[in-house]
Structures are given as structure tokens and as C-alpha cells.
Amino acid sequence: MSSSASTGGPRFDGLSASELARRLELPRVDLFDEVTSTLDIAHRIAPQAPSGTLVIAESQSAGRGRHGRRWTSAAGAGLYITMIERPVDTQALDVLALRCGLYAAEALSPLADGHVLVKWPNDLYLDGGKLAGILIETRWRGTSPEWVAIGFGLNVRAPDLTDARGLSADVSRIEALDRLVPALRRASAARGFLTPAERNAWRDRDLAAGREVTEPSTGTVRGISPAGELLVDSGGVVTSHRSGSLIFAAPITCS
């Protein structure tokens, strides 16, 4: 594992960490050849890192997902990043993963061969396959958040998996990064629960809307609440879910 704190360190598609920081208008970028997870690095440096610090790895040997899932992220095929932010609004923290997903979907759609969709609570889908995943980890000091680490994994080139998708063939990782970073920063700066406009935008991209699901409860998905809860209608009774996995009753099919 090595970083580009010096001019002789790793480069990301030809750019050094300092060049990326200037390009993305960020206070700090830490660039690595390989890490276990960019989330691990982010938490290690966060006590001294300014808000807006970005960790980028060329590859990950133990990428982290929800429920403790692990995977390997291949070099050169995607974006494996974590953004460090210091939000103070706890209401906004409750919906941060959804905001990041929604804003990222909006930002990345022009780079995709199709309409990028959101899957509650933290995935992006394209043409029936997974395009990206988000994992947010918060560190607290008492009852106040000290920092959040926004982990984001994006397939720029689709891996050799039947249920995975990538961006358009002519899109570079730098182009994706140019669009993704401002979207994540805007999401982390937002306050309060989801606005009516955000919920309408979610509805337009909701992979699950109107679909039958078996988890987190059995029924038909009716969208999300302002607090980011999944709404499931079971025989006219709507239940709300703050956490859990969304499992469809039937396989997702390509459009």
C-alpha cells in the first residue's frame, strides 16, 4: 500500500493526488495503489483530515459492504473512493445514503447507456444490473457525529458478472469522478429529511416502486418516506422500514 503524498507516489489515470485535488476543488486527496478498503484509510486519517478529503484506491483487497460483506475490487475497472465529511444535522444523516445515491444517479446518468436507477437503501442499477454501491459509516463523539465516511464503489467498466453493469464504453474514470464528487459533496451538505422535490426525483428512478418484495416485509413497494423509510403495502396496510435488505419476489429483468 502506498499513497501519493509525494510527487513520486501513485497516479490515477495519469494524475497525481495534488493534481486531482486541484481538478476536483478538494482540500486533500490521498491516492493509493491498493488498500484493504478506502473506508479503513478514511477512518484512520479522519481525525486530522479536513472535510472534503477524498481517498482513492486503484484496487481494494477487502472492499466493505452492508452486513459485513467483503469483495475484491479489480484495478483499473472502477472508482473505489471514500469521502470524509463532517455534517452536523442528525436528521440529514438519517437520509444521507439515499441522498448520495439519488444525486449520484442524476450525475452519472449522462455517462450511461440508459436511465440510472436507485435501489433502497444504497445501490445504483442500470439495465437490470448493479452499477454502484454506497456504504456510509459514522463516527460519533457522544451524541454528535464527529465525521462520516462516504464509501462509493462504481463499475466504470462492467466486471465479468451477469448481474453487473458499467458506464458507456467511451467514458473514462476521470469523467465519472468529475461528476460523482460534486454530487456526493452536495448530498452531504444538505440538511433535514428528504424534500418533496427529492422524493419526486427518487420516484422517477426507483427500481422498486410497484414491485412485489419479500424483504424487509412481504408486499408492494410504495416509495419512501421523508425520513428515508421504505414503504411496503401489504393488503392495504403500509409498513415503514428504516433498515434491512430489499429482496424482490421476482428476478430483476433488463429493460
Q: Identify whether the C-beta of residue 199 lies closer than 8 Å to the C-beta of residue 224.
A: yes
Q: Where does residue 142 rank: exposed (0-12), middle (13-18), buried (19+ CB within 10 A)?
A: exposed
Q: What is the pLDDT of residue 61?
A: 80
End-to-end CA distance of the chain, in Å?
40
pTM beyond 0.85: yes
The ranges of the chain with pLDDT < 70 are 1-8, 63-74, 254-255
Q: How far is CA 117 from CA 4, 37, 125, 128, 206, in A?
A: 34, 25, 5, 9, 6
Q: What is the pLDDT of residue 67?
A: 46
Q: What is the pLDDT of residue 254?
A: 59
In sequence order, the 6+-apart residues with CB closer than 8 A to the CB of 109 are: 115, 116
Q: What is the pLDDT of residue 76?
A: 78
Q: What is the pLDDT of residue 1?
A: 52
What distance lies between CA 216 and its chain's CA centroid? 21
- Report the distance separating Cα 6 and Cα 16, nearest Å: 9
- Report the distance separating Cα 212 and Cα 246, nearest Å: 10
Q: How far is CA 178 from CA 34, 72, 82, 135, 239, in A?
A: 21, 24, 15, 20, 39
Q: Please, what's the b/e burial string for 187-207 (b: 16 or more CB within 10 A of its CB; e: otherwise)?
A: bbebeebbeeebbebbeebbb
What would the grid cell of residue 157 be? 467498466
Q: What is the pLDDT of residue 178?
A: 98
- Report the distance separating Cα 16 and Cα 19, nearest Å: 5
Q: What is the pLDDT of residue 64?
A: 62
Q: What is the pLDDT of residue 241?
A: 97
Q: What is the helix (H) or strand (E) element at residue 106, kind and residue range? A: helix 96-108
